[in-house]
């Protein structure tokens, strides 16, 4: 028996990294999982991994910056598995590295469209469906930069701060409707994106964490799993860090 038996879960950006680890953890605990990603190849590979581990999963391609595609994603989830109990809005991008005064308008809009608009679209349509179910759980992936600055990444920092605020608002608005919403703030995690970083850059990032290492996707997934389950039944509107001490100094 898993802690998510008979639940249906949706994870965006689940083709790799943190999103994949979350989808795998959901499936291992008994949930039927919709894996969504803009990269069809990665999404299908993720589904194969989950099924090979004995889980149940299906892939639905979606660009989270497109409201119509997100609405269709939630609709497809219900068509495939009959309902929606849990949603993790994880898809995000980093954006360009530049001083705020020099930040390009196109880059600003792109980062906000994925990292904020995409999370809002997800929440909007997930909430509509969860109200029909009579309840549900949403976990939004923010960042340590939902509470501290990321110099040269003003769009990313702004979006992640906003995701924290959005999650708090939903928690306050939907508590009496049996719908919980929390945000998670990972620090720097060993993902395919960071694997391509130079050795010097990786050392700089590691030095920012008092634990002396980067985090693992599975460590983020464990927190998300807890917040998605009944073990956290009295927790909503919160923002929880998994950051190796990054924000402590």
pLDDT at position 55 over 80 = yes
Distances (CA, A) of 59 to 41, 64, 83, 172, 192: 10, 14, 16, 32, 20
CATH architecture of the region 8-187+216-248: 3-Layer(aba) Sandwich (3.40)
CB of 123 closer than 8 Å to CB of 136: no
Contacts of 161-170 spanning 24+ positions with Cβ under 8 A: 162/116, 163/115, 163/116, 163/119, 164/239, 166/116, 166/119, 166/120, 166/123, 166/140, 167/138, 167/140, 167/142, 167/237, 167/238, 167/239, 168/237, 168/238, 168/239, 169/237, 170/123, 170/127, 170/138, 170/237
Select which of 156, 174, 239, 240 is catalytic.
156
pLDDT in tens, 30-49: 999 999 999 999 999 999 99
Among the listed residues 244, 228, 247, 245, the one whose alpha carbon sits nearest the alpha carbon of residue 236? 228
Determine the pLDDT at residue 198.
64
| pLDDT over threshold 70, residue 179 | yes
Residue 193 pLDDT exceeds 90: no
| pLDDT of residue 196 exceeding 70 | no
- Model pTM greater than 0.75? yes
Q: How confident is the model at residue 173 (pLDDT cuts 50, 70, 90)?
A: very high
Question: Average pLDDT for residues 94-108, to the nearest whole number?
Answer: 97
Confidence of residue 191 (pLDDT cuts 50, 70, 90): confident
Q: What is the pLDDT of residues 198-224, one digit of tens each?
A: 668 889 999 999 999 999 999 999 999
Question: What whole-number percentage of the chain has pLDDT above 70?
Answer: 98
pLDDT of 138 strictly over 90 = yes
CB atoms within 10 A of CB 234: 5
- Mean pLDDT, to the nearest integer, of 172-183? 98
DSSP bridge partners of 147:
none
Which stretches does DSSP call E strand in the chain?
A: 8-12, 32-37, 56-61, 86-89, 136-141, 179-186, 189-190, 215-216, 239-242
Domain ranges of the chain: 8-187+216-248
Distance of alpha carbon 166 from alpha carbon 237, whole angstroms: 9
Q: In the prediction, which pLDDT does 197 show? A: 65
Residue 239 annotated as catalytic: no
What pLDDT is recorded for position 187? 98
| Chain position carrying tokens 């998605």 | 228
DSSP letter string, 162-220: HHHHHHHHHHHHHGGGTEEEEEEEE-SEE-HHHHTS-HHHHHHHHHTSTTSS-EEHHHH
């Amino acid at each position: 028996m898993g802690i998510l038996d008979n639940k249906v879960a949706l994870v965006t950006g689940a083709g790799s990294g943190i999103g994949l680890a979350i989808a795998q953890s959901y499936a291992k605990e008994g949930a039927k999982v919709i894996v969504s990603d803009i990269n069809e190849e990665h999404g299908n590979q993720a589904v194969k991994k989950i099924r090979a581990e004995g889980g149940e999963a299906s892939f639905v391609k979606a660009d989270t910056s497109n409201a119509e595609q997100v609405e269709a994603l939630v609709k497809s989830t219900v068509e495939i598995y009959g309902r929606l109990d849990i949603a993790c809005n994880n898809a995000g991008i980093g954006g360009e590295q530049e001083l705020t005064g020099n930040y390009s308008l196109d880059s600003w809009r792109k980062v906000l469209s994925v990292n904020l608009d995409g999370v809002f679209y997800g929440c909007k349509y997930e909430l509509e469906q969860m109200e029909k179910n009579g309840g549900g759980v949403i976990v939004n992936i923010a960042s340590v930069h939902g509470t501290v600055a990321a110099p040269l990444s003003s769009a990313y920092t702004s979006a992640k701060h906003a995701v924290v605020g959005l999650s708090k608002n939903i928690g306050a608005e939907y508590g009496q409707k049996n719908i919980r919403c929390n945000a998670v703030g990972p620090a720097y995690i060993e993902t395919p994106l960071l694997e391509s970083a130079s050795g010097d850059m990786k050392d700089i990032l590691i030095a920012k964490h008092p634990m002396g290492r980067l985090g693992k996707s599975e460590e983020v997934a464990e927190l998300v799993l807890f917040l998605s389950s009944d073990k956290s039944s009295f927790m909503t509107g919160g923002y929880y860090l998994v950051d190796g001490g990054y924000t402590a100094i």
